[in-house]
Structure 1
Amino acid sequence: MGEISIKINIADRIYPLRITTEEEEIIRRAAKLINDRIKEFQENYAVRDKQDLLSMCVLHYATATLKAEEASKHEDKDVAKKVQQLDEILSDFFSE
């Protein structure tokens, strides 16, 4: 669980990081996703400024995160409701 130094390239800039060995794979995958999304935005929109592309990328991932959080909350409510229904059924069964 030691720390390592890596360099991550995002939007043609190098960022030196000190991370744990467990984080390395996920950080490299995240950087690749960001660079792929930037490339997609460059190809599909008439945007060349890296700052604008990074802003579009951040907006994309922030929106996706918020949607996932909302879906998770909805699923949690559904699970809680089903657990409550099951508890009521079991309570009725055992009280007879």
Structure 2
Amino acid sequence: MGEISIKITISDRIYPLKVNTEEEEIVRRASKMINERIKDYQENYAVRDKQDLLSMAVLHYATAVLRTENKVQSQDTTVADKVDQLDVLLDNFFSK
């Protein structure tokens, strides 16, 4: 419920953070995912500069977030359209 101090490592650098106890696991998992993505890029591409690897990882995850946001927005629009259709059907039904 409160804040705790943790240390995470990203790309061989240690970052001390204060996080809510509920978010600790998420932050640790995110750090692990970033490190795995960097390792994957390092092994599969001729990129050795840590800054470039970090930039590629950030681009990967930012793109994934935007794709997810677009999908959620599209689903929200679809749900709203369905609700509007149901509303029209109910109006028609009760106005008879």
Q: How would you bin the TM-score normalised by the shorter chain?
A: over 0.9
> How many angstroms does 1:76 deviate by?
1.0
Measure the CA separation in 1 of the matches of 2:6 and 2:74. Answer: 38
Aligned position for 1:54: 54
Q: Which moved more, 1:71-80 or 1:5-14?
A: 71-80
> How many angstroms does 1:84 deviate by?
0.2
Q: For 1:40-70, what per-residue CA distance to the aligned partner results, in whole angstroms no more than 9, with x for missing partners?
A: 1011101111110000001111111111111
> How many angstroms does 1:33 deviate by?
0.5
Measure the CA separation in 2 of the matches of 1:79 and 1:29. Answer: 32
Percentage of identical aligned residues: 69
DSSP-derived class of the 1:42 partner? helix
Moved over 6 A (4+): none
CA-based RMSD of the aligned residues comes to 0.7
Measure the CA separation in 1 of the matches of 2:49 and 2:6. Answer: 26
Query: Please, what TM-score do these two structures have when normalized by structure 1?
Result: 0.97
DSSP-derived class of the 1:47 partner? coil
Aligned position for 1:36: 36
Measure the CA separation in 2 of the matches of 1:74 and 1:3. Answer: 36
In structure 2, list runs of 5 or more residues that go unmatched: none
Measure the CA separation in 2 of the matches of 1:66 and 1:20. Answer: 25
Measure the CA separation in 1 of the matches of 2:87 and 2:20. Answer: 43
Across the two proteins, how many residue pairs are aligned to each other?
96
Aligned position for 1:84: 84
Measure the CA separation in 1 of the matches of 2:78 and 2:60. Answer: 27
